[in-house]
Amino acid sequence: MTISEPKDFIREQVIQDNETNRFGGRVVTRFPPEPNGYLHIGHAKAIHADFGVAQSFGGHCNLRFDDTNPTKEEQEYVDAIQYDIRWLGYDWGDNLFFASDYFEQLYAWAVKLIQDGKAYVDDLTADEIRAYRGTLTEPGRASPYRERSVAENLDLFARMRAGEFPDGAKVLRAKIDMASGNLNLRDPVMYRIRHATHHRTGDAWCIYPMYDWAHGQSDAIEGVTHSLCSLEYQDHRPLYDWFLDQLGIHHPQQIEFARLNLTNTVTSKRKLLQLVNEGIVAGWDDPRMRTISGLRRRGYTPEAIRDFCDRVGLAKKPNVIEVALLEHCLREDLNKRALRVMGVLNPVKVVIENYPADQSEELEAVNNPEDPNAGTRKIPFTRELWIEQSDFMLDPPKKFFRLAPGAEVRLRWAYIIRCTGVVKNDAGEITQINCTYDPATRGANPIDRKVKGTIHWVSAAHALPAEIRLYEELFPQARPDEDENWQANANHASLQVIRDAVVEPTLADAAPFQHYQFERTGYFVVDPDSKPGALVFNRSVGLKDTWGKLEKQAS
RNA sequence: UGGGGUAUGGUGCAAUCGGCAGCACGACUGACUCUGGAUCAGUUGAUUGAGGUUCAAAUCCUUGUACCCCAGCCA
Q: How far apart are the first and last CA of chain A?
A: 53
C-alpha dihedral sign at A33, A38, A43, A48: positive
Decide: CB of A453 under 7 A of nucleic strand B.
yes
Q: What is the pTM of this model?
A: 0.97
Q: Is A202 left (phi over 0), alpha (psi -120 to 50) or beta?
A: left
Express each pLDDT in A312-325 by its tens digit: 999 999 999 999 99
Phi then psi dihedrals of residue A124, to 5 deg: -60, 150
Contact (Cβ atoms closer than 8 angstroms) between residue A476 and residue A486: no
A161 Cβ partners below 8 Å, 6+ apart? A107, A205, A206, A207
Ranges in chain A, pLDDT < 70:
1-6
Q: Which nt sits closest to A182, CA to C1'?
A: B3
Contact (Cβ atoms closer than 8 angstroms) between residue A389 and residue A521: no
Strand boundaries in A195-252, DSSP class E: 207-209, 226-230
Note the ipTM here. 0.97
Q: Which residues pair with A209 in a beta bridge?
A: A191
Q: Which of A8, A61, A3, A4 is nearest to A319 (CA)?
A: A8
Residues A224 and A244: their CA atoms lie apart, in Å, by 13
Helices (H), A235-367: 237-247, 269-277, 292-298, 302-312, 323-337
Task: State the DSSP string of A248-260.
Answer: T---PEEEEEPPP
pLDDT of A225 reads 98
Contact (Cβ atoms closer than 8 angstroms) between residue A228 and residue A46: yes
CA–CA distances in Å: residue A416 to residues A254, A449, A450: 65, 11, 11
Nearest protein residue, CA measured to C1' of B39: A370
Q: Which residues pair with A174 in a beta bridge?
A: A119
Contact (Cβ atoms closer than 8 angstroms) between residue A510 and residue A467: no
The letter for the amino acid at A55 is Q
Decide: CB of A4 under 7 A of nucleic strand B.
no
C-alpha dihedral sign at A14, A18, A19, A21: positive
Express each pLDDT in A107-128 by its tens digit: 999 999 999 999 999 999 999 9
Q: Which nt sits closest to A125, CA to C1'?
A: B73
Q: Which residues pair with A492 in a beta bridge?
A: none
Rounded, the Å distance between the CA of A8 and C1' of B15 is 13
Residues A137 and A188: their CA atoms lie apart, in Å, by 18
Task: State the DSSP string of A362-426.
Answer: EEEEES-TT-GGG-EEEEEE-SEEEEEGGGB-SSPPTT--SB-BT-EEEETTS-EEEEEEEEE-T
The letter for the amino acid at A54 is A
Q: Which of A529, A408, A425 is nearest to A468 (CA)?
A: A529
Pairing state of beta strands A454-455 and A384-388?
A: unpaired
Contact (Cβ atoms closer than 8 angstroms) between residue A419 and residue A403: yes
Q: Which of A15, A63, A72, A68 is nearest to A43 (CA)?
A: A63
Q: Which of A359, A363, A358, A356 is nearest to A415 (CA)?
A: A363
Q: Which nt sits closest to A67, CA to C1'?
A: B75
Contact (Cβ atoms closer than 8 angstroms) between residue A540 and residue A471: no
Decide: CB of A412 under 7 A of nucleic strand B.
yes
Residues A173 and A521: their CA atoms lie apart, in Å, by 61
Decide: CB of A196 under 7 A of nucleic strand B.
no
Contact (Cβ atoms closer than 8 angstroms) between residue A68 and residue A36: no
* CA angle at A483 for the pair A478 and A485, rounded to the nearest 5°: 125
* CA angle at A413 for the pair A433 and A337, rounded to the nearest 5°: 120
The catalytic site residues of A sit at 34, 259, 269
Residues A314 and A412: their CA atoms lie apart, in Å, by 44
Instruction: Report all structural domains of chain A as residue ranges with CATH numbers, in order of start.
Output: 9-257 (3.40.50.620), 261-339+463-555 (2.40.240.10), 343-456 (2.40.240.10)
Q: Indicate the length of chain A as a whole number.
A: 555
Q: Produce one character per residue of A182-197: b if its CB has 16 or more CB atoms within 10 Å, e if not.
A: eebbbbbbbbbbbeee
Q: Which of residues 209-268 of A touch strand B (CB under 7 A)?
A: 209-212, 214-215, 231-236, 258
The 3-state secondary structure of A453-504 reads CEECEEECCCCEEEEEEEECCCCCCCCHHHCCCHHHHCCCCCEEEEEEEEEC
Decide: CB of A315 under 7 A of nucleic strand B.
yes
pLDDT of A3 reads 44
Residues A344 and A336: their CA atoms lie apart, in Å, by 22
Q: Which nt sits closest to A69, CA to C1'?
A: B74
Positions in chain B where some atom is under 7 Å from a protein CB: 2-8, 10-15, 24-28, 34-39, 67-75
Q: Which of residues 334-363 of A touch strand B (CB under 7 A)?
A: 335, 340
SS3 A427: coil
